Amino acid sequence: MGEKKIRVLMAKVGLDGHDKGALLVTSALRDAGMEVIYTGLRRKVQQVVNTAIQEDVDVIGISILSGAHLSVATKIIAKMKDVGVDKPMIFGGVIPDEDIDKLKEIGVTEVFTQSSSYEDMIKFIQKVAG
Beta strands in the chain (DSSP E): 7-11, 35-38, 59-64, 89-93, 110-113
Output the CA–CA distances (angstroms, integers) from residue 109 to 26, 73, 90, 105, in the order listed: 18, 11, 6, 9
Show Cβ contacts of residue 22 under 8 Å, excluding neighbours closer than 6 positions.
Answer: 10, 12, 38, 63
pLDDT in tens, 39-70: 989 999 999 999 999 999 999 999 998 889 99
Rounded Cα distance, 78 and 82, in Å = 6
pLDDT in tens, 87-119: 999 999 999 999 999 999 999 999 999 899 999
Phi-psi region of 65 (alpha: psi -120 to 50; beta: other; left: phi over 0): alpha
Instruction: Quickly name the fold that domain 7-129 has.
Output: Rossmann fold (3.40.50)
Full-model pTM = 0.94
Sequence spans of domains, the chain: 7-129
